[in-house]
Structure 1
């Protein structure tokens, strides 16, 4: 693909390319942006627990930490906090929010959140205006790309109010899209200034289209994807049924529900041996480890591996047998963890939430209800375990589903080419 001359993508992230989790699912996208544009500049907003850079970046991909440092300084002293409040209460967007959502004044916490949000958004707006001036940015050849439909998108859209030739695109995933789970600010005002909003699922597109039908031409589905690692995971051959889950250990992922299901499974089929491995970490880890230690029967061994870099996750799948991957989350876009498992030919059990039904079906595993009981999950695991011939077919179809819909080579090449045309 021929690069667009003197073209730049300014990619605004939360943490990437720093930190433990570091939005590592951005890794396979970066090479395609790099191959399409002359320069890609990564602009993170938040400090991570770790400041180690993740992975090796292409030569034409740079990191600009100036916004990150500026945002971090806003919490340091009373003068900066006063500045944040001043930014918010002098912003017309803040008052538009009040008009659109007058109920926000019934909740002190929501008021504080709104002031903090608009205060930071205005600070990002000012940073963008300075950046354009100091870097002599050619707006006709620059795309402002926010990986999340969030704070950065709002700040950049405010800058566009004075510089209408700016080209702004954003992705929307799950927590930044579904308002049932979060109080989402600055909608639909921010949509007025976007050139395109990319949804990672058809479900996401239908959802936002129902809320904002006048912006129909703005919305486009652009699926995420993962790399082909060149191997297939092996099923167990020693009469132990091996279950893997991979997620942050936070309430919405409902790992406690999974533990209840495994307890029931172990007690119901007490002659069968199981291994359950959870990859990922979070604030509930110690609590849930303690619950698992106390409640899971002896025929279920379990381990919480904690954080694993992306490469190590695939190494795990390559060097360890895995019979089924399971996700019982209450909210999802389309989980990258499921794409990763399917790329290795692992069948998947998952809840019917968000865009998950677009990647999980009874062909590639089993789709649970949105709010399954421990018994429903237990029965799904039993069904998978008791049909080895069907499992062989599910493994093949799981890999085929990934190849046809979630291969990063195809999806990110299409996405980068689409950005190039904006």
Structure 2
């Protein structure tokens, strides 16, 4: 293959660099900009709030304008490509929801295809941060127009595990896995899932995300208050109300102990939970819902404020960056055994809960932490060391950036 002298990557995101989500890209973009001559970010959604970027990173809002067009999904439905997609995934067509899912996927693919065609993308790398319709659109563009491009993607959780969806499938998944130049999954569990369910091992590589080493251990409580931290947006998968219900029961069962629960994250259901907390007001459990904040704010909080234990009760995960973040400050983690979480709970340095844990299981986890508090605090440097060995962002993102750069020479 003959490539242009300049190494260019077209980076398709959801909202980044706009808004406040997809925060994990903030670290990765630095390493991409270091190895590529130019990084062109193509977000699906654009807003007024935009984060700072390296000088050789530019943003093209053309795709987001396409996605804002009215009736784009309706127009896509009455096309040959939609009929073709319905025939390809016919075995999943048990409901109207399945047809809508295929059409939505196809519409997203078409917009990505049209954007690439309009911009005459060639002699470059196309990288979709999520394994979705835009990935399929890029592959169609490459094959139909015989373009000299490489198409890669990351796969995390929602874009990887079929059971995260109803109906539980991803359109064209088998074909996408066969055609993609390389797929980077963020956990070993994700790699095994794809290989088992799609009988393919082609070009699937584990490339973990990572965190920035702040070079310090976090503070712990010294006033006999057990401080519990959680970080997640409010949605059904994260089960934040379930965490509160179990913390409330534990506080009621231990009236002579004092607890503080700090939560970062917002979304649908947060206001309802606030009302429930107000109605259940008890003296020995103080709840502090801080809402959505920047990554920098969380890092500053972890470095300065006392935190004793971190809890994640998600019913599904990819590889939670929040766990990496707290472990990099030496914090003990209690997490449900879902997705890649089990890969992050180091032996003797964390606690795994069953996905469908009971209050008895939850109580046992907190009791274990309390009864081993002195030992766990002594092991904080070990937790931090293990975390950075596996999830050091400077190492992981640099390896990833150089690996995808080398794809251009293969």
Normalising by the smaller structure, the TM-score range is over 0.9
What is the CA deviation profile of residues 66-101 of structure 1, one whole-angstrom value per residue up to 9, with x for unaligned ones?
Answer: 11111112x2xx5x5553234xx221x752443433
Q: State the match for 1:69 in structure 2.
A: 65
Mind listing any 5+ residue stretches in structure 1 that lack a counterpart? none
Compared CA separation, residues 396 and 363, structure 1 to 2 (3 A): farther
Kindly indicate whether the alpha-carbon contact (under 8 Å) linking 2:315 and 2:336 is maintained by their aligned counterparts in 1. yes
Q: State the match for 2:401 in structure 1.
A: 416
| TM-aligned CA deviation for residue 393 of structure 1 | 3.5
| TM-aligned CA deviation for residue 264 of structure 1 | 1.7
What is the CA deviation profile of residues 37-84 of structure 1, one whole-angstrom value per residue up to 9, with x for unaligned ones?
Answer: 10111110124xx53112x211111111111111112x2xx5x55532
What CA distance in whole angstroms lies between the structure 1 residues aligned with 2:308 and 2:92?
Answer: 49
With structure 2 as the length reference, what TM-score do the two structures score?
Answer: 0.93
Q: State the match for 1:232 in structure 2.
A: 217
Given the alignment, which residue of 124, 128, 131 partners 2:112? 124
Determine if the alignment matches structure 1 residue 154 to structure 2 residue 140: no
Determine if the alignment matches structure 1 residue 388 to structure 2 residue 373: yes
SS of 1:145's equivalent? strand
| TM-aligned CA deviation for residue 392 of structure 1 | 1.6
Determine if the alignment matches structure 1 residue 13 to structure 2 residue 13: yes
Compared CA separation, residues 101 and 297, structure 1 to 2 (3 A): farther
Q: State the match for 1:38 in structure 2.
A: 37
Q: State the match for 2:164 in structure 1.
A: 181
Kindly indicate whether the alpha-carbon contact (under 8 Å) linking 1:172 and 1:197 is maintained by their aligned counterparts in 2. yes
What CA distance in whole angstroms lies between the structure 1 residues aligned with 2:105 and 2:88?
Answer: 16
Compared CA separation, residues 35 and 81, structure 1 to 2 (3 A): closer
Q: State the match for 2:77 in structure 1.
A: 85
Q: State the match for 1:402 in structure 2.
A: 387
Q: State the match for 1:53 in structure 2.
A: 50
Matches within 5 A, 1:127-276: 127-132=115-120, 137-139=121-123, 142-162=124-144, 163=146, 165-182=148-165, 183-213=169-199, 215-276=200-261
Kindly indicate whether the alpha-carbon contact (under 8 Å) linking 1:257 and 1:374 is maintained by their aligned counterparts in 2. no
- The worse-fitting range, judged by mean Cα deviation, of 220-229 and 289-298 is 289-298
Determine if the alignment matches structure 1 residue 354 to structure 2 residue 346: no
Mind listing any 5+ residue stretches in structure 2 that lack a counterpart? none
Compared CA separation, residues 118 and 173, structure 1 to 2 (3 A): same
Q: State the match for 1:371 in structure 2.
A: 356
SS of 2:209's equivalent? coil
Kindly indicate whether the alpha-carbon contact (under 8 Å) linking 1:5 and 1:38 is maintained by their aligned counterparts in 2. no
- The worse-fitting range, judged by mean Cα deviation, of 93-102 and 147-156 is 93-102
Compared CA separation, residues 81 and 149, structure 1 to 2 (3 A): closer
SS of 1:377's equivalent? helix
What is the CA deviation profile of residues 183-237 of structure 1, one whole-angstrom value per residue up to 9, with x for unaligned ones?
Answer: 3222112223210000100000000011222x31310000000111222211100
Given the alignment, which residue of 306, 312, 322 partners 1:327? 312
What CA distance in whole angstroms lies between the structure 2 residues aligned with 1:109 and 1:138?
Answer: 36
Q: How many aligned positions are there?
A: 400
Q: State the match for 2:277 in structure 1.
A: 292
What is the CA deviation profile of residues 249-308 of structure 1, one whole-angstrom value per residue up to 9, with x for unaligned ones?
Answer: 111111122112111211221101010011000101011222233336320100110011
What is the CA deviation profile of residues 102-137 of structure 1, one whole-angstrom value per residue up to 9, with x for unaligned ones?
Answer: 341x311221232232123123212211212xxxx4
SS of 1:241's equivalent? strand
Kindly indicate whether the alpha-carbon contact (under 8 Å) linking 1:243 and 1:277 is maintained by their aligned counterparts in 2. yes
What CA distance in whole angstroms lies between the structure 2 residues aligned with 1:368 and 1:81?
Answer: 41
